[in-house]
């Protein structure tokens, strides 16, 4: 299977960068580094979850979700790899990313123009939150976590976490969309901190799935 490999930032493993089909790009690459390759049938991202999200965002913006398959070779800790059962061994991950079968998975967006590939965290939180039409938060929470739903479902898994002296209390829901209005809080998306405090936030499942290579 032919594919183009994007080695992002400092994730330049010699076994990967010495290949002829590799393009070295910055961390969280933008349109100048991603868009020239969007005619490929398969793109493979070598990097962090934030790098993967940046490439997926370009697929969304250029309406390529239905035609471009996305493979991933995670470098370092990766909630995306844990969520979808991807190999973290670089050689095996690259082989699967280039040659594995496509497995459409829920594609999660937010209301400020971004996407969520693995784990989003809002912390700390004081406000009101809804999973679809259900009120799941009214008051305080230590943090709110969101991931795509690995079981498909409506699209999202949302966990409202309250820390206590003995462990934590977690309330989980699996909606299509989650909306929050709150006092200013911090958003961390796929390991990347949002540049400004936010007082409202929405995650929701996009109408198209992501064509992710999982090799399952």
Instruction: Give the pLDDT confidence of 126-138 residue by residue, as tens digits.
Output: 999 999 999 999 9
Are 84 and 120 in a shared domain? no
Among residues 115, 121, 105, the alpha carbon closest in space to that of 69 is found at: 105
Which residue has 């799941």 as its token pair?
136
Q: Specify whether 133 is located in the same domain as 182.
A: yes
Q: For residues 8 and 48, what is the distance between their CA atoms, to the nearest angstrom?
A: 8
Residues 8-52 have pLDDT tens digits of 987 667 777 677 778 999 999 999 999 999 999 999 999 999 999
Q: What is the CATH number of the domain that holds 62?
A: 3.40.50.10330
In a shared domain, residues 133 and 51: no
Domain count for the chain, please give it.
2
Please give the Cα distance from 160 to 99 (Å, whole number).
Answer: 38
Could you tell me the end-to-end alpha-carbon distance of the chain, in angstroms, rounded to an integer? 16
Does pTM top 0.75 for this prediction?
yes
Tell whether 84 and 60 lie within a shared domain. Answer: yes
Cα–Cα distance, 160 to 145 (Å, whole number): 7
Cβ(162)–Cβ(126) below 8 Å? no
Domain that holds residue 181: 115-205
Judge whether 95 and 198 are in contact, CB under 8 Å: no
Q: What per-residue confidence (pLDDT) applies to 12?
A: 63
The reply to whether 124 and 200 lie within a common domain is: yes
Residues 101 and 190 in one domain: no
139 phi and psi angles, rounded to 5 deg? 135, -135
């Amino acid at each position: 299977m032919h594919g183009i490999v994007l080695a992002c930032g400092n994730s330049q493993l010699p076994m990967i960068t010495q290949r002829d089909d590799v393009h070295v790009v910055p961390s969280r690459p933008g349109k100048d580094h991603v868009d020239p390759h969007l005619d490929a049938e398969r793109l493979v991202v070598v990097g962090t979850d934030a790098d993967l999200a940046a490439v997926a965002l370009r697929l969304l913006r250029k309406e390529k979700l239905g035609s471009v398959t996305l493979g991933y070779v995670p470098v370092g800790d990766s909630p995306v790899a844990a969520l979808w059962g991807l190999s973290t061994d670089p050689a095996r991950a690259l082989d699967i990313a280039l040659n594995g079968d496509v497995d459409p998975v829920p594609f999660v967006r937010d209301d400020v123009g971004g996407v969520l590939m693995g784990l989003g965290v809002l912390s700390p939180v004081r406000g009101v939150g809804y999973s679809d039409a259900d009120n799941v938060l009214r008051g305080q929470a230590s943090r709110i976590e969101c991931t795509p739903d690995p079981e498909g479902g409506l699209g999202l898994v949302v966990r409202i976490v309250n820390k206590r002296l003995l462990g934590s209390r977690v309330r989980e829901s699996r909606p299509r969309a989650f909306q929050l209005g709150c006092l200013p809080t911090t958003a961390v998306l796929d390991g990347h901190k949002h540049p400004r405090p936010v007082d409202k936030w929405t995650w929701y499942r996009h109408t198209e799935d992501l064509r992710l290579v999982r090799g399952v």
